Amino acid sequence: MNFELTEEQKMVQDMARRFAETEIKPYAAELDRTHRHPAEICQKMGELSFMGIAVPEEYGGGGMDVVSYVLALIEISKACASTGVIMSVNNSLYCFPVMAYGTHEQKMKFLAPVAGGEAIGCYGLTEAGAGSDPASMKTTAVLDGDEWVINGEKKFITSGNVAKYCVLAAITDKAKKYKGISTFLIDLENTTGFSVGRVEEKMGICASGTAEMVFDNARIPKENLLGAEGEGFKQMLTTLDGGRIGIASQAIGIGRAVLEEAVEYSKTREQFGKPISSFQAIQWKLAEMATELDAAELLTLRAAYLEDHHLPYEKEAAMAKMFAGDAAMRASVEGVQILGGYGYCKDYPMERHMRDAKITQIYEGTNEIMRVVIANNLIKNR
């Protein structure tokens, strides 16, 4: 078993680390405070191929592997979790399904600009009554001549307020329930009947817009169907598996930032005449953080490796996302505790890490659903 990264993977990791330290981290607090979408940072990440890392160069991407994506996303998320989730959705939830199921013409039109960082992509799945149960969605798409007519509202859509393109799930045959779900490619800027609804005020990841997307008799060309009609649910499951690798990476990045800051603070903060890093209570907190984050990273790299080698990875992606999200949340709680009163104040980034960490236990499938996915895989394979 070889744990050594390739030279290309090391190069990507190093490039992402340097970029995150110089181009993202200095602005993270301001982005969080103002809730401003980091458009200029996203454009620069596109120039570095970070917005479509595993997309072939033919379609504007970096032509690299999923392991490289994980390594880069950890570094970006360590600097700013909001920027990390924008990158994650762009790669995992938008670029992946277009790359996997689109025609050459669709990839040239809808994939290349997003993978190259010229535009932002989003994934329209969740609705008010269809979160963990996507088969309960109400959004419909009805074929009318050479156009699909779409009606419905999507909720909690990451980048929905800034995206130019969207991969959208809708019901095309109500009688077939989840087998009647299809997926569509939408040019949001040129679709009459589409509008952005409420942009949520959130606890964390504040520089990443989370929006309602409203479709009121929105018409799109017939050829914007992604794959075959009725294949949307199957496409969705595979897409979400990859998305969970992305969120696991984001969680690890947040956890790494927590650990690094907690270690540095503990070495400089003195009580009873010596640094608090000398106290066993603090040492154990740091040791547990480091161990859990290393375990989370190994789980995530395993899932990425399996995806790269076209092997089943649903269970492994769910394990990585669940464990990494829980590890990041536990680390952030302990990080605030180590910093004490300072950890509770906005002068230090630790309280932001705690707010950002919580969402990694919720989106891309709650960690409760991840446990269901893992258990179902165990039971059906016995």
Is 364 an active-site residue? yes
| Closest alpha carbon to 326 in 356, 292, 281, 302 | 292
- Strands of 87-235, DSSP E: 121-124, 140-144, 147-158, 165-171, 181-187, 194-199, 210-221, 225-226
The pair phi, psi for residue 2, each rounded to 5°, is -110, 115
Q: Are 184 and 148 in contact (CB under 8 A)?
A: yes
In angstroms, the CA 74 to CA 257 distance is 10
Exactly one of 127, 307, 334, 364 is catalytic; which is it? 364
Q: Which of 69, 38, 29 is nearest to 52 (CA)?
A: 69
- Residues forming a β-bridge with 124: 168
Which DSSP string corresponds to 62-116?
----HHHHHHHHHHHHHH-HHHHHHHHIIIIIIIHHHHHH--HHHIIIIIHHHHT
Token pair listed for 101: 């199921």
CA distances from 322 to 10, 18, 86, 251 (A): 26, 28, 20, 10
Calculate the CA 100 to chain-centre distance: 18
Q: In whole angstroms, what separates CA 93 from the centre of its chain?
A: 8
Between CA 155 and CA 209 the distance in angstroms is 12
Tokens (6 digits) for 204: 């964390």
Which residues are marked as active site? 364
